[in-house]
Structure 1
Amino acid sequence: MLKSMYVSKWLRWSGLVLVVMLLGACAAGPDVPLSEAPAAQAEPRYTIGPGDQLNVFVWGNPDLTVTVPVRPDGRITTPLVEDVQASGKTPTELARDIEQSLAHYVQNPIVTVTVTNFVGTSTEQIRVIGQAVQPRSIPYRVGMTVLDVIIEVGGLTEFAAGNRATIIRGPTGAQQAFRVRLSDLVTRGDISANVPMQPGDVLIIPESWF
């Protein structure tokens, strides 16, 4: 009887220790060096670029509310505000700048800037050159893949060597090249060839040798 009591207590104590150890392991998480942990991605912010169409809304002042394009020099002109720099700024940053300028003429102006037609800066575009039906620059969208890009440019030409296509990525001087299999993706439906794109990527589609 006494022996059974000791065994029962030992089993309960062992079970408690095991539970504590499991909880501790769960709290600590996997033993991964910090250098290998994935970096948190910053929330994407759209930067205005030449060619963008902007709606500048001034609350309570319809005469000052306009829709204007961003000129090739990156500036816009609105009523009472001439040649304000827009390219390279977010819509919110531009709105604050316009408010500052309007404050000389309007009491406590409230401005909202909305991008109605997107082009973006060159660092936020994806450029497609070579054997695409419509090679051009297209605005980057969050989550865009190489298949989205091919659809945007109308597909590949009959002379394209799709499986020898290359993505050039990174700033000048530190660029990397990645081979992509566009023919397998487009003609065979090989979804494993559908790779994600990043802002500033250049997709080069060479011509077939035959």
Structure 2
Amino acid sequence: MWKVAALSAAVFLSGCANNVLPPSDVTKMTSMKDGEYQYQIGTDDVLSVFVWHNPDVSGDYAVRPDGKISMALTQPILAAGKTAEQLADDVTEALSEYIKNPKVTVMVKSAVGSVSAQVRIVGDAVKPVSIPYRHGMTLMDLMIQVGGMSKYADGNDAVLVRIENGEPKEYEIRIDDLMVDADLEANVDLKPGDVIRIPEAWF
């Protein structure tokens, strides 16, 4: 609980951050090395489970509020917090009691994401929104996805809050320079769990 309180306090802090993130390297396809980030399944995600030669148990399964999926033959299986590969291993183990040498593939068909795998925008001049993090996502990608800011927002006074070593740390970001002036030096890489706070402009 103290981590949640600390993050909330940092997000809504009115003072300016003194830390600056390096610009995103637009020459790279992604901001992380291959395999460094793996999506973790969240509640309300829809998963496509394929069991080779067993269409009766193959299909699309929604992750329940308790984080589990309900499949034929097995007890409910915990999915939330796992990667697709980890869940495939668990489904394989569960089905092996009923099917000889099951071959299972799990894919995320529709992603909502766990809280730790989301990027959030809050503030006085924006509608709060959570977006599932995508591998290689940048600040520009996020702003395009949410449709930009309202006319009352002060994008150049925005702050990115990121948990580092268990503590919230604030970074200055310049959304107006990025989205209005196309200053790519203001584009930064995002990480799962980042929170963007956009204050209201003073006219």
- TM class, shorter-chain normalised? 0.7 to 0.9
1:96 CA displacement = 1.3
Larger-gyration structure (1/2):
1
Identity %: 45
Which residue among 93, 97, 101 is the counterpart of 1:104?
97
User: 4+ residue runs of structure 1 moved beyond 2 angstroms?
Assistant: 40-43
Q: Which residue of 1 aligns with 2:88?
A: 95
More helix per residue:
1
Which stretches in structure 2 are left out of the alignment for 5+ residues? 1-32
TM-score w.r.t. length of structure 2: 0.78
User: For the residues of structure 1 that align with 2:199 and 2:153, how far apart are their CA atoms?
Assistant: 6
Instruction: Please name the residue that 2:42 is paired with.
Output: 49
Which whole-Å CA distance do the structure 2 matches of 1:153 and 1:205 have between them?
13
- Report deviation, 1:172: 8.3
Q: Pairwise CA RMSD of aligned residues?
A: 1.8
The Cα shift of 1:124 comes to 1.5
In the other structure, the counterpart of 2:30 is none
Q: CA 1:104 to 1:41, structure 2 compared with 1: closer, same or farther past 3 Å?
A: closer
Matches of 1:150 and 1:156, distance apart in 2: 8
Per-residue deviation at 1:105? 1.5
Per-residue deviation at 1:68?
0.9
Q: CA–CA distance in 1 between the matches of 2:59 and 2:68?
A: 15
Q: What residue number does 1:186 align with? A: 179
* Structure 1: stretches of 5+ with no match in the other structure: 1-39
Aligned to 2:62: 69
1:157 counterpart SS class? coil
1:119 equivalenced with 2:112 (yes/no): yes
> For residues 171 and 188 of structure 1, what CA distance do their matches in structure 2 show?
30
Q: Distance in 2 between matches of 1:71 and 1:172?
A: 31
Distance 1:123 1:172 in 2: 15
Scaled by the length of structure 1, what TM-score is found? Answer: 0.75
What letter corresponds to residue 73 of structure 1 in structure 2? D
Task: Provide the aligned length of Structure 1 versus Structure 2.
Answer: 170
